[in-house]
Structure 1
Amino acid sequence: MEFKDKVVLITGAAGGIGLAAARKFAAEGAKLALVDLKRESLETAVGDIEGAVLIAADVSKEVDVEAYVAKTVEAFGRIDVFVNNAGINGDFKPIEEQSFENYSNVLLINVIGAAMGLKHVVKQMKVQGSGAIVNTASNGGLLGAPGMSAYVASKHALIGVNKSVALEVASTGIRVNAVCPSGVDTQMMRSIESNARKGEEAEARKQFEAAVPLGRYAEAEEIADLMLFLASDRASFITGAYYRIDGGGGAVSV
């Protein structure tokens, strides 16, 4: 019960990594505020987590971001851990086919939405004098990926935000770190597979998994385990870091 009575706020909590993190923090005794775009999705996914506060919010709108932070504090009085996880992959297309709207939307949600989450959560954590933040970046924030330039740009940017905010708050008792997963066996990968090879998704998966030295996608729970560690007191001297969790992909020479 490492997080017993700790207040944990998670965005993008209705599926994938966010849902896995919610279940793991709940098992460790945390009090949860769970955010996603639609309350109905949250109720379906995490309605069985006792005592969780479910909040519908659009992270691309600062008024919604400010509201989900305020609702969490209203319910629990503080925020001990922020899992800044909401994000989208956008269209999988070469640059000459990318639309202004797709680029704008991906950057708005993955960078500006995440930054606004940091803005309002940091305000609360400074009042408390403590807190741990885990941003969901990607190995796409460290590498290139053909056809995914909008997503890759957004995750490179988020790693920069992660580093900068960690330095800004280092003296205040707040730690800020990021996880950088490669492919995770979630709905987002189904979308990427479909975008890569429409109608041949199984073949796309084989190709993607073959590029991973461990030969498979990660499970969402494996990413959540790293998040829990970074949010815990065991990581008390870690801040401003970004951790690859990519099945050995970072060790491959180019």
Structure 2
Amino acid sequence: MNKVVIVTKARSGSNLLLSLLNSHPDFYFHGEVYKPGFVATFRTSGKFRRIYGVEPIELRENDPIKFLDAIYSTSPRKQKAVGFKLFFYHNKDVLDYIINDKDIKIVLLERENRLASFSSLLIGQRTSTWQQQVDKDENSASPGTVKVDFKVEDLIEYKRKTDRTYERFRNRITDPSRLFEARYHELLDSEFQQRLVSFLGGEPNVPLEAGVVKQNPAKLVDRFTNAQDVMSYLESAGLSHWAEE
């Protein structure tokens, strides 16, 4: 069994990536199990309670590295790859441990269009809706109908911090063979998917299926109340290609 961690930032397509991986019979992935405040989408929480006799969050808070071992040990052993997603800010000690443990494979997920992740984050904060299922009721409210205000200085700061976070992380990986770089715009590409499946040790030529759909408009300027201000900034910064995703 390959131990795996998906390392990323919020609004980078991690829900889509998880749904794709969990559609493959050889893979078993949990959600944000180190999310501050609660353990999110820990799929074997029932088995964990029977073995450890405590709530997952209790062990996680008292001994985050022992909890890491429990994530893998309570997952189905027949799977070729077992993992979870970890945002950079979730737990520094765990992130450091993962970087230094050469037995753990890392999938580094990045959404290179910073305007896309920035706008998605703002809309998610406004609506408290972080993913949308494929079978979602067509008559229910959609985050795609919500528009947010654009402030140039906020995007510039978001981009600066995000670029720096990814650069620092990459510089700390000494063995590139255990790192797989995944980019948001590639996630639904079949060739990319097969490279990822191969990296994780799964059976090849198994189609991956997405269980979630894109929530917000592909034309990114339409996510903002002041769309012209967005377009003006993108053109002046040489980032016109960020206008759509």
In the superposition, the TM-score normalised over structure 2's length comes to: 0.41
Higher relative contact order structure (alpha carbons within 8 Å, sequence separation ≥ 6): 2
User: Which structure: larger Rg?
Assistant: 2
In the superposition, the TM-score normalised over structure 1's length comes to: 0.40
**Which of the pair is proportionally richer in helix?**
1
